[in-house]
Structure formats: C-alpha cells, structure tokens
Structure 1
Amino acid sequence: MFACLFTHPLDLAKVRLQTSKAHDNGLVSLVFKIVRHEGLFSIYGGLSASLLRQATYSTARFGVYEELKRLISHSGSPPPTSQLLGASMVAGAVGGMVGNPSDVVNIRMQNDKALPPSERRNYKHAIDGLISICRQEGVSSLFRGIGPNLVRGVLMTASQVVSYDVSKRLLVNNLGMNPRTKSTHFSASLLAGLVATTVCSPADVLKTRIMNSSSSGRSVFSIFREAVYSEGAGFMFRGWTPAFIRLGPHTILTFIALEELRRFRIGM
C-alpha cells in the first residue's frame, strides 16, 4: 500500500492504455490528456480500490511466499531456485484468487472517466463498487477474469519475488555487495521489476480487458482472438512502457519496505 501511493497515477495510465484500441497514445501524452480533460486529481481516481487490492492480493502472495520459503529452507541455507519457483507459483495463485474482487473494482474505477457518461459506473469508493457489482451483476462477477488473473498472479509472483531473491544473491555473491544496504535492495528490485513486467504483460492486458467488460458471456479466447484480429499480436504488450515505469518503482518501494519490516522483525 505504501508503494501504491506513489505509483497509482502510472497504474491508472497503464489501465487506460490497455483498454484503449487507439495506437497513438503514449504514457506522457496520456497523463497530460487525463489531467487536461479530467482535472489534476483525476490521476488518483480509484485510489481506494487500488489500496484495497494491495491489502488483499499483495498481502496474500507475499505472506504465503515468505512462509513457504521458511518451510523449505534447511539449516539456514537458501532454497534452490526450482523450489522458490514452486513456492512463488502457489503464493501467486492464492494472491490472485484473494485479490480478484478488489482487482475488478480497481480496473473499473480507474477506467471509468474514459467511458461515455451513460456507461460510467460512478462507484463512490472500493466498498461501494463491491456492493454495486454484487447487487447489479451478481457475486460471481467479482471473479470475472479469474483465469487470467490467476495466471498473472503466478507469473508476477514467480518473476518478481524469485528474480529479486536470485538477483540479490548474485549481487552479494558475485559483486560483493552488502545484503543489508539500500543499494543492494534497489538494484535487485529494479531487475525484478524488469523481469516481471515483461513476463506478465500478455496476461495483464487480457485480464484488464475482461474485467473492464460488462458482458459476462465472452470467453478469454474470444477476447484474445478479436484483439489479435483487430490490433495484431502486439496488443499483448500494450502499455509495457507505463507498466514498467509503474512496476519498477512499485517493486523497488515494495521490497525496500519489506526489507525494513524484516529488519525490525515486523510480520516477517
């Protein structure tokens, strides 16, 4: 949630790019366009849902991963990468499932101002969004896009936390960096953000489009086929630049916060 406070405007721009069918929008031009047409504070639209998502999705995946990593560690030595990948995949699936309802609300609130006035949902905040979806579309709609979201949760956690642990280990063992310094945490988390953005982009774009849709009858394959036909295969990496610009700082801030929690023995 700490990281989200700083990166939310970039996350909003990423969602807008992923749901847009236009090819002429870049990150900077889109941010200026949002501010110009919707006001300065519009770049923090849907912040409550974004914070709720971090409080559910990220808490679950990081907590499960750290616990599984503790269970598979022997004699204080770090587990092999293959075991870390297995633990991260389980943690990512748990996080994706726990965080799916807040993710649906998050994407809808961030994209609401981009819709015509007649199609806007106008959720007041995250809890209002959850209640409105349940009343108007049924509880099952909170788990719309659960398939791509589980895939993304697995890919994100595996690519992010494992690449962070592996990068940190390589920096310490090969370059002699101090495992307790901020520079080591910064370097390892920056590499982790780069890996995670690239690995997760296709699933992230599909997840965003499914959750933003009001139609419950469309399959993942039909949305994928239509997007490839009308936009080309490159749509899977739509918004990669803002995703990395957002995920890079978000990953850095997240792992620095986690390292501080670990240092003070708070929940870690």
Structure 2
Amino acid sequence: MATEKYSRWYFGGLASTMAASLTHPLDTLKVNLQTQQAKMSILELVLIIFRQRGLLGFYRGISASVMRQLTYSMSRFGAYEIGKDYVNTETFAGKVGLAGVCGVLGGVIGAPADMINVRMQHDVKLPPEKRRNYKHAFDGLTKAYRQEGIRRLFTGATIAAFRGGLITIGQLAFYDQIKSLMLSSSHFNDNSVTHFTASLLAGITATTLTQPVDVLKTRIMNAKPGDFTGLMDIIRYTAELGPKGFFRGYVPALVRIVPLTILTFMFLEQLRLHFGYEKIKPIVYKY
C-alpha cells in the first residue's frame, strides 16, 4: 500500500485567488475589448487606459476579482474535490460530468461578484459622467443592490453558469485527464513539469470552449437596464460583427486564461503536496 497527497476543498479557491491577483491586468484588457463595438487594437487600448488612469487603471476592479475567486472558484473547485468521493472520476466522462455540474454551481454563486468585476474594469473606458465609480467590490454590490435590486445582481447568471460549466470542464476535467495520462506513462512524474504541461493544454482548451459564451456574458453584465431586450437581442447585436464577434478578445482571453490556469494549478499542486492530506491507495504495478 502507498499514500498519496490530496487537496483540501478550499485549496482551489486560494490558488485561483493568488493566480488572479497576478493576471488581473490581462483580464481588464479582455473585458474592455469584449464590451466595445468599434475595432481597437490591444496596443491602442493599453495606451487609452494608461493615459486615463496610469498603471493603477490596469488593476481597476482587483477587489471584485478577488471576491469573484473566493466565491466562484472556491465553490467550483471545492465541489469538484468533494464530489470525487461520490462520483467515479476514473473515467473521462465522470470527470466531465462532475466538472460541468460544479462549474454551473460556481457560476451562479459567483455571478454578483462577476458582474461588479466586469463593471469596474469597463468603467475606465467610459466618459466621466457615465462611470459608476465603484470604490471597491463591496461598494459596488451595495450600490447595485440599492439602485437596481437583488435580481440585478444575478443578471447574466444563466449564461455565467453555462460558461462556468464549460470552463470548469476545460480546466479541471481536462487537467485531471491529461495529468492522469501523463503519469500513466513512464516519462512523467508528479512534478512541476507535468503540472505545467497539463495546465497549459487545459488552459487552451478552456479558452476555446468558453470564448463565445464569455463575450455574451460580459456584454450582458455590463449592459444597463433597457440596453437589450434579452439574450437573443445581445446575440443579434454581437452577430453584426460576424462570426469573429463571438471570439472578440480571444487573444487577450488566451493570454489571460492560459497563464491563470497554469498559475492556479501550479499553486494548487504546491498546496496539495505541502499541506494536503494523505489517503492510502493500492500500488499499481506497471508491466
């Protein structure tokens, strides 16, 4: 018999928070590119944000980003880890099914913080008279609740849940599956090289799966009451740009999600190896 280290349920949320704190400027660029209708290069957007707010402009909404990770990622990673005791994740289908359900759960729980995060990041691009000027995440939640009601806090929760399911499949299910396949060979061990490679491939998969949904989610959450009549109206509005409209901001999303995924799993694996708990598992001999 041998022992193996396992993650505690809250490790994923902590790892995601640490990773998101480092990649937040990339998320700011992604949100601003997705919410604009006119064409603008990444360099032009960088210059606009820098001229208006300086370096701190790229960290606009960092408190909401942290809150989002502590709600959205904490719940989906935690549910996935706990769910492994009740769902057979030895198969890829089991991993996908569990990850999808946990991602939907996380998307709903994290919707209010996600909306505030989108609004605070987009605020820098608006004229001064149209800015919401949230001081921090809790200020944004309070103002949104008082001015628009509690239902407004969950605007876009449906599509956020759908997006959460897809990205959790792309990240957790694919990461576990790729890592498992790598470890089943004689060429890889449970080390940083394996963790980096598996998380890189999982990040690319997650970005590609979620980008069209992410564009729609961002537009819904940033919209003001009356801007759109419903989801189909936003889809038609986005479709005016052609198929590429649904992949607007793909490169910034790729540049953000891939490093975020890599950092999240690198942090998570270190937490698991150093602070995880042990389980006894049978030794599997390879012939």
Q: TM-score with structure 2 length normalisation?
A: 0.87
Q: Which residue of 1 aligns with 2:112?
A: 101
Mapped contact 1:15–1:110 kept (Cα < 8 A) = yes
Are positions 1:147 and 2:161 aligned together? no
Distance 1:134 1:193 in 2: 34
Q: 1:69 aligns with which of 49, 59, 84?
A: 84
SS in structure 2 at match of 1:105: helix
Q: Which residue of 1 aligns with 2:144?
A: 133
Among all aligned residue pairs of Structure 1 and Structure 2, give the percentage whose two residues are the same amino acid: 45
Q: Structure 2: which 5+ residue stretches go unaligned?
A: 1-16, 279-287
Shift of 1:65: 0.6
The letter for the 2-side match of 1:16 is N
The letter for the 2-side match of 1:134 is Y
With CA pairs under 8 Å and 6+ residues apart, which has the higher RCO, 1 or 2? 2
Check 1:267–1:239 CA distance in 2 against 1; reply closer, same or farther (3 A cut).
farther
Q: Which residue of 2 aligns with 1:241?
A: 251
Q: Which residue of 1 aligns with 2:65?
A: 50
SS in structure 1 at match of 2:110: helix
Are positions 1:207 and 2:228 aligned together? no
Distance 2:134 2:52 in 1: 20
Shift of 1:38: 2.1
Over residues 111-143 of structure 1, what are the superposed CA-to-partner deviations in whole Å (9 max), with x where a residue is unaligned?
Answer: 001112121100110000000001000010000
Shift of 1:266: 4.4
Check 1:267–1:93 CA distance in 2 against 1; reply closer, same or farther (3 A cut).
farther
The letter for the 2-side match of 1:206 is L
Q: Which residue of 2 aligns with 1:8?
A: 24
Matches within 5 A, 1:220-235: 220-229=231-240, 231-235=241-245
SS in structure 2 at match of 1:70: coil
Mapped contact 1:261–1:267 kept (Cα < 8 A) = no
Q: TM-score with structure 1 length normalisation?
A: 0.93
Over residues 36-79 of structure 1, what are the superposed CA-to-partner deviations in whole Å (9 max), with x where a residue is unaligned?
Answer: 33211111011000000001000000000111123224xxxx51
- Tell me which stretches of 4 or more aligned residues in structure 1 moved more than 6 Å: none
Give 1 or 2: higher helix fraction.
1
Q: 2:50 aligns with which of 31, 35, 48?
A: 35
Distance 1:177 1:226 in 2: 47
Distance 1:267 1:168 in 2: 19
The letter for the 2-side match of 1:41 is L
The letter for the 2-side match of 1:237 is F
Mapped contact 1:4–1:250 kept (Cα < 8 A) = yes
Cα RMSD (Å)? 1.6
Larger radius of gyration between Structure 1 and Structure 2? 2
Q: Which residue of 1 aligns with 2:180?
A: 169
The letter for the 2-side match of 1:11 is D
SS in structure 2 at match of 1:24: coil
Shift of 1:261: 2.0
Over residues 208-243 of structure 1, what are the superposed CA-to-partner deviations in whole Å (9 max), with x where a residue is unaligned?
Answer: 0000001256211111112212x1121110001110
